[in-house]
């Protein structure tokens, strides 16, 4: 079978205690003045990273926010310029790593990403930014981090609730890679392996959050899922989540977790081979049910209404999601998307939707 596979040019350091290599990795990039990025909640961790950098640390910007608002990036750029920073070191999840990407797009600075969640943004050349209530995405190698340091020790303290939703967010990348228009057998191998690693580790973490083996397995799975996201296009699920996050300010990982089983149910009949791979990786008989049951097993929220979406928002969300849809294996139908969102808003078990196209 002919296919095209593009390997992404990132350097990955994986293991326990690997944060100790940070200064050497900054030097390897030829940099001497690193600005450390973090969210306000991870400012203490950011300061520790700055201390670890020693003379290579130029300063800390701890104002990263979810969905990468343009105004936050503008503020960060002013500090980058004031400090004379020549690279960024982002520690945290998708919010912080997204800010590093936005800075790199504007200033062309090398990036070191240190993920502390399972979001996967560190492995992608994709940047999503929010301005005036709308989230837009672009794909360019300019925003791909040059170096990624995966340190399992940094995930041991990740709260169990965040671990579960972050991990299922990662699974979403692999799920859509399996039915992507530009899918290929190499990425499909990574996708199934990534889903399986997270599916077996997340329930363990929910009950034993300091289980180092499960944490390592989850971080490994998240890495593979992130590669999938960076290597092929995404579809309906990601469009819906970008709409809900950017326009209704819903939390990123929780939104992905709730929407995923419903998006998979919507696409099930149009992508049977992908559904078989997903179900096998989950150890389930049905892909959508297996994803819903995994969310239940890790104690994740199941209803968009519980994380801020109002029933009155569904019509507007449907309009935005269908106005400029991503490619999808099944035709995007407004009535079907509205039903999908209604089910996700109410927290119902996913249902197979009936095609209206002939």
Q: Are residues 176 and 260 in the same domain?
A: yes
Range of the domain at 97: 11-155
Q: What is the pLDDT along the chain (358 residues), one digit of tens a residue?
A: 788 888 888 999 999 999 999 999 999 999 999 999 999 999 999 999 999 999 999 999 999 998 899 999 999 999 999 999 999 999 999 999 999 999 999 999 999 999 999 988 999 999 999 998 888 889 999 999 999 999 999 999 999 999 999 999 999 999 999 999 999 999 999 999 999 999 999 999 999 999 999 999 999 999 999 999 999 999 999 999 989 988 899 998 999 999 999 999 999 999 999 999 999 999 999 999 999 999 999 999 999 999 999 999 999 999 999 998 889 999 999 999 999 999 999 999 998 643 334 3
Total domains in the fold of the chain: 2
Same domain, 139 and 46: yes
Structural domain ending residue among the three candidates 105, 125, 155: 155
204 and 329 inside one domain = yes
Sign of CA dihedral 290, 295, 299, 302: negative
Q: 207 and 136 share a domain?
A: no
pTM over 0.85: yes
* Structure-block tokens of residue 109: 């600075």
> What is each CA distance from 213 to 118, 171, 180, 201, in whole angstroms?
15, 19, 31, 8
User: How many Å apart are CA 80 and CA 65, to the nearest integer?
Assistant: 17
> Same domain, yes or no, for 73 and 172?
no
What does the pLDDT read at residue 354? 39
- Verify that 105 and 249 share a domain, yes or no: no
- Span 86-140, pLDDT tens digits: 999 999 999 999 999 999 999 999 999 999 999 889 999 999 999 988 888 899 9
Rounded Cα gap, residues 48 and 324, in angstroms:
43
Residues written for the chain: 358
The CATH number for 314's domain is 1.20.1090.10
Instruction: Kindly state whether residues 339 and 212 are assigned to the same domain.
Output: yes
Q: Are 164 and 151 contained in the same domain?
A: no
Residues 99, 209: one domain?
no
CA pair distance 154, 294, nearest whole angstrom: 24
Question: For residue 135, is it within any domain?
Answer: yes
């Amino acid at each position: 079978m002919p296919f095209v596979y593009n390997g992404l040019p990132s350097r990955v350091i994986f293991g326990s205690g690997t944060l100790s290599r940070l200064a050497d990795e900054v030097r390897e990039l030829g940099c001497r003045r690193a600005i450390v990025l973090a969210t306000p909640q991870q400012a203490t961790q950011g300061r520790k990273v700055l201390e670890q950098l020693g003379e290579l640390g130029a300063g800390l910007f701890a104002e990263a926010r979810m969905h990468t608002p343009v105004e936050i990036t503008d503020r960060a750029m002013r500090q980058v310029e004031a400090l004379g920073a020549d690279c960024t070191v982002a520690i945290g999840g998708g919010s912080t790593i997204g800010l590093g990407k936005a800075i790199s797009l504007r200033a062309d600075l090398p990036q070191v990403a240190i993920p502390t969640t399972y979001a996967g943004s560190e492995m992608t050349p994709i940047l999503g930014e929010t301005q005036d209530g709308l989230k837009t995405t672009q794909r360019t190698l300019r925003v791909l981090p040059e170096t990624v340091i995966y340190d399992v020790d940094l995930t041991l303290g990740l709260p169990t609730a965040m671990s579960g939703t972050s991990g299922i967010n990662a699974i979403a990348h692999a799920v859509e890679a399996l039915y992507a228009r530009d899918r290929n057998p190499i990425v499909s191998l990574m996708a199934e392996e990534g889903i399986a690693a997270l599916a077996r580790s997340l329930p363990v973490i929910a009950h034993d959050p300091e289980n180092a083996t499960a944490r390592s397995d989850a971080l490994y799975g998240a890495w593979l899922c992130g590669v999938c996201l960076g290597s092929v296009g995404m579809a309906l699920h990601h469009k819906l989540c970008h709409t809900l996050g950017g326009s209704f300010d819903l939390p990123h990982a929780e939104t992905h977790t709730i929407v995923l089983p419903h998006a998979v149910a919507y696409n099930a009949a149009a992508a049977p081979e992908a559904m078989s791979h997903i179900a096998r990786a989950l150890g389930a008989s049905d892909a959508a049910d297996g994803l819903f049951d995994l969310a239940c097993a890790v104690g994740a929220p199941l209803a968009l209404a519980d994380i801020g979406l109002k029933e009155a928002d569904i019509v507007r969300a449907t309009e935005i999601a269908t106005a400029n849809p991503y490619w999808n294996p099944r035709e995007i139908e407004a009535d079907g998307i509205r039903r999908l969102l209604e089910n996700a808003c109410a927290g119902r078990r996913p249902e197979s939707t009936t095609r209206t196209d002939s």
